[in-house]
Amino acid sequence: MTDSAFAYGLGIGTHNSKGEWLEVYFPQPLLKPSAALVQALDDSDNPSDNKSNNHSDNQSTLDSAALTTLQEALAAAGEAEQAALAGQLALSQRPVVAVVLREDAAPATVPEAYLKLHLLSHRLVKPHGTVLDGMFGVLPNVAWTSEGAIAVDELPARQLAARLRGDTLEVSCVDKFPKMTNYVVPTGVRIAHTARVRLGAYLGEGTTIMHEGFVNFNAGTEGPGMIEGRISAGVSVGAGSDLGGGCSTMGTLSGGGNVIISVGKECLLGANAGIGIPLGDRCTVEAGLYLTAGTKVLMLDAEGKVVETAKARDLAGKSDLLFRRNSTNGAVECLTNRSAIELNHELHAHN
């Protein structure tokens, strides 16, 4: 019997004219699949699989015959849902791939990378819950259009072909990451502008992303929460927190070094505020104030007197803090936040 694996997915995707993967859609990805499921896939592996530079030992491109064999093996293993999916994909005219990640390692191919992004958006793993090293080098830059994913170098010919038919090929963006909602729509969320949430975002139950909100891959919210600002790559936001319009969180790749920026529970980042340090629970950052790790902060006592001076990095992860600017001299001050915010339940209802 084959040992169990880290993750499994049966997906359908898009090739370029060279037969290289551009993207893959995994309808029912699994974390920690059963050993019986993995064995069923191993037993039905397609011997004519393409051994191109976009192949690894973790994936197999399956034709209709191999999918029918896999469907039978999955059914015999008691994996009814995955068997049904294999049966549906056996009728596909698009390329189908099975991916088994034997361990949680850096993705080596496009299908492996897309499976990991799906794990995040399906809430099977949380941000930083899977290894994504080297993903940018694996994923191709793709034109995301009204006709699906198109290789950038093949786009002009497709645009001309559309015009000759009397149509216009709509290009929504050119990027390595597609928008999440074309692949996954998590339950219990509101997303006002879907193009601003990338595949690989993690949105917890009760999250609202307003029009100016943005959520990168390997980042997201525990939920519930109101997001009108930017959640950069690698940033997690705790339950009950509110990110005001135009505010920003510094990603690990954006000057934060190895420090993982996060926002605790029941925090408030005011409009156009920003943080370059992790916040604990029930913290507030005044509108327009951007805290970097080196920001000089005056610590105030209960009477509002300065008791010491600190760098913002020294306050990283501490709870119940209010950061504000002195209206007279502009100095950044910090005092205990005794009025932790509570989200408006009616405003954040998702019924």
CATH of the domain at 228: 2.160.10.10
How far apart, in whole angstroms, are the C-alpha atoms of residue 135 and residue 26? 18
Same domain, 200 and 300: yes
Same domain, 289 and 252: yes
- Residues 11 and 24 sit within 8 Å (Cβ to Cβ): yes
Same domain, 169 and 185: no
Same domain, 207 and 328: yes
Q: What is the pLDDT along the chain (351 residues), one digit of tens a residue?
A: 456 799 999 999 999 999 999 999 999 999 999 999 999 888 876 544 444 445 568 899 999 999 999 999 999 999 999 999 999 999 999 999 999 999 999 999 999 999 999 999 999 999 999 999 999 999 999 999 999 999 999 999 999 999 999 999 999 999 999 999 999 999 999 999 999 999 999 999 999 999 999 999 999 999 999 999 999 999 999 999 999 999 999 987 544 457 899 999 999 999 999 999 999 999 999 999 999 999 999 999 878 888 889 999 999 999 999 999 998 999 999 988 654 444 445 545 665
Same domain, 59 and 168: no
Range of the domain at 50: 7-135
CATH of the domain at 48: 3.30.70.2010
How far apart, in whole angstroms, are the C-alpha atoms of residue 206 and residue 187? 9
Same domain, 90 and 217: no
Packing angle of the helix pair 35-43, 64-76 (nearest 10 deg): 150
Q: Which pTM was predicted?
A: 0.91
Residues 6 or more apart in contact with residue 226 via CB below 8 angstroms: 208, 210, 242, 243, 343, 347, 348
User: What confidence score (pLDDT) does residue 305 get?
Assistant: 86
User: What confidence score (pLDDT) does residue 52 get?
Assistant: 45
User: What confidence score (pLDDT) does residue 351 get?
Assistant: 56
- Is 77 part of any domain? yes
Number of separate domains in the chain? 3
Active-site residue numbers? 228
Same domain, 154 and 208: no
- Is 351 part of any domain? no
